[in-house]
A and B are shown apart, each in its own frame.
Chain A
Amino acid sequence: MAEPDLATPGEGDEAYGSRPPGGSAPESLRMGSLPEASDAAVVVAIGRFREEALAEAYRRHGGAVFGLARRLLTDAAIAEEVAQEVFLRLWNNPERFDPERGSLRSFLLAQTHSRSVDVLRSDRARRAREERDLRATATAGYDLEHEVWDLAVADAVREAVADLPADERQAIELAYFGGRTYREVADALGAPEGTVKSRIRAGLKRMREALADVGVATGGT
């Protein structure tokens, strides 16, 4: 699928400039509409110190970044700090994002998750509290499908989640949204560590394959 990038004039702008011969790569940035540019082109623009490019990246992904941090940390102020740090990292080190390796969304969310988990784990009092509450929630089965909001893929993802065996889904939920290690999940469930490890891996594999089957990209752009 051909993506518009900053080098391609918008529709109706036939007279706008001239195309460089041989087609245009994201590097040949010319004035165009940022909102229509690919994530990769936006990051290249960030690399050229274009502040509005970071604003565009924030517009696209800030909600997801903040939302995930908020969900893990509950404290909105700290979630804001995490979101700020993730985007400032993108501003200072845009070269760390490799579009061949995955989407900008997953790149930013991986950092958000990792940072949030650091905060969670540094607060032992909070963790002890969670362990006490864990018994109550572990068997109830947190509803993963209600976390999915992306309208473009929502149906496919919800279906993939619904098709997960309950134990795989539970292991993923407790680890990902609880910020727990697989050992802590095993402790809470009273299950062997090896079992939890393989449930997590099997569940993620299953979802990746289900999403690939319906054409949702799960590996690189």
Chain B
Amino acid sequence: MRTMEHDEVQELLGAYALDAVEPDEAASIEAHLADCPRCRAEVAGYREVTGMFAFAGQEAPPGVWARIAAGMHEDTPPLRLDRIRPGMAPGPPGSARTRPGAPRRVRMARQILAVAAAIAIVVLAVQVARLSGRSPTRPHGVLTMADVQAALRSPGSRRVVLLAPGAAGRGASVDAVVEPDGRGYIYDSHLVPLSADRTYQLWGVVGGARISYGLLGTSPGIVAFQGGTGLRTLAITDEVASGVVTSHHPFTVAGPVSPPL
């Protein structure tokens, strides 16, 4: 790698910002950039400009998110693109099915993920069985993890994790799932059981306003609720046993619905 003088590097900064230089030139430029804030700033400015060229109006394809989500739970390193041959039959954008010829690591990872999910569901079922001795507030029907699992599997459903402000380590958490039509369940609740004169109450935050989604009792099990368009946040507060119309209590736990309904 040849050392480049500042002037020579400067002439190349535009092309460099467009990835339009040879690899050995890029190496020389990067060596210079390590020590030159002015040139770094110039490149950063050009990259902001190119950032505006590109396709900001498009929706993020959901099929790709499914693969990112799968990737988040694996320890495998990112896919090596040089092993993927251009010209392989592509699926439509957003397709989540396994491509023929997908690298073996990806297929194995998907199987591992499926097994892990199955184990997780069994664990959840055991935990919920313990909770279901308490009274859920739904008067009709008994909700089970089968209902929750069906919701988790349904396309477009969002998983919501409600945590206490100040987050991890406090212990209080609640899991929820919301389907695109607003129907949802809270299911794995780790909340301090309340005394008989109190209740937990579920809220949806829609456009800054809190809407009550019902009472959860002193120690919630699986509870169904119905949310609506614009739901951005699910939250739970601690209230008197009769519940309240509006709450001014801080959230015991809360979590974002992402993307919002």
Task: Give the interface of A toward B (CB within 8 A).
Answer: 10-18, 29-35, 48, 51-52, 54-56, 58-68, 70-71, 73, 75-85, 87-89, 91-92, 101-103, 105-106, 109-110, 113-115, 117-119, 122-123, 126, 144, 147-151, 153, 157, 172, 175-176, 179-183, 185, 194, 196-198, 200-205, 207-208, 211, 216-220
A128 to B46, CA, bound (A): 29
Interface set, chain B 34-78, CB cutoff 8 A to A: 40-41, 44-61, 63-65, 67-69, 71-72, 78
9 more contacts with CB within 8 A, not counting A76-B90, A151-B56, A182-B15, are A31-B254, A33-B232, A58-B64, A58-B65, A73-B86, A76-B93, A85-B79, A181-B22, A220-B44
Interface assignment of B99: CB less than 8 Å from any CB of chain A: yes
Q: Distance in Å from the Cβ of A28 to the closest Cβ of chain B?
A: 9
What's the least CB distance linking B85 to chain A, in Å?
9
B48 touches A62 (CB 8 A): no
User: Is A106 in contact with B51, judged by CB distance below 8 angstroms?
Assistant: yes
Is A208 within 8 A of B208, CB to CB? no
B15–A149 CB distance below 8 A: no
Picked from B58, B91, B256, the residue with its CB within 8 Å of the CB of A35 is B256
Any A CB within 8 A of the CB of B259: yes
- The interface-forming segment of B116-124, B159-167, B186-194 is B159-167
List, sorted by A's number, 10 A–B pairs whose CB atoms are closer than 8 Å. Answer: A12-B207, A31-B165, A48-B168, A52-B160, A64-B54, A71-B55, A88-B72, A91-B68, A203-B14, A211-B52
CB <8 Å contact, A31 and B41: no
Complex partner residue of B18 from A54, A147, A172, CB under 8 angstroms: A172
List, in ascending order, chain B residues with CB within 8 A of A123's CB.
86
Contacts of B20 in A (CB 8 A): 175-176, 180-182, 185, 200
Residues of B near A208 (CB, < 8 A) are 45-46, 48-49
List, in ascending order, chain A residues with CB within 8 A of B55's CB: 63-64, 66-68, 71, 147, 149
Contact status of A55 and B81, CB under 8 A, knowing A31-B163, A150-B57, A198-B11: no
A119, A200, A205: which contacts B86 (Cβ < 8 A)?
A: A119
Contact yes or no, A58 B68, CB < 8 A: yes
Interface assignment of B32: CB less than 8 Å from any CB of chain A: no
Q: Which of A79, A148, A201 has the most CB of B within 10 A?
A: A201
**Chain A nearest CB: distance from B163 CB in Å?**
7
A178 to B127, CA, bound (A): 55
Interface residues on B, range: 35 or more
Contacts of B60 in A (CB 8 A): 58-63, 65-66
Q: B216 interface residue, CB < 8 Å from A?
A: no
- A33-B256, A103-B51, A198-B11 in contact; A204/B22 too (CB < 8 A)? no
Instruction: Tell me which residues across on chain A come within 8 A of B69, comparing CB atoms.
Output: 51, 55
A181 lies within 8 A of B21 (CB): yes
Chain B 121-164 against A: per-residue CB contact (8 Å), 1 yes, 0 no?
Answer: 00000000000000000000000000000000000000011011
Whether the pair A15, B167 counts as a contact (CB closer than 8 A) is no
Instruction: For chain B, residues 77 to 121, give those with C-beta under 8 angstroms from any C-beta of chain A.
Output: 78-79, 81-82, 84, 86-93, 99
Q: How far is the CA of A34 from the CA of B256 in the complex (A)?
A: 6
Least distance between A205 CB and chain B CB atoms (Å): 8
Would A182 and B13 be within 8 Å (CB), given that A52-B258, A81-B81, A220-B44 are in contact? no
Which residue, of B41, B53, B69, B71, has the highest number of chain A Cβ atoms within 10 A? B53
CB distance from A146 to the nearest CB of B (A): 10
Partner of A102, one of B22, B44, B167, B233: B44
Whether B166 and A106, one on each chain, are in contact in the complex, defined by CB atoms closer than 8 angstroms, is no
Q: Is the CB of A114 within 8 A of B19?
A: yes
Contact (Cβ within 8 A) A149 B258: no
Chain B CB within 10 Å, residue with most, of A13, A18, A103, A105 = A13
Complex contact A109–B49 (CB within 8 A): no
Residues of chain A lying within 8 A (CB to CB) of residue B167: 29, 48
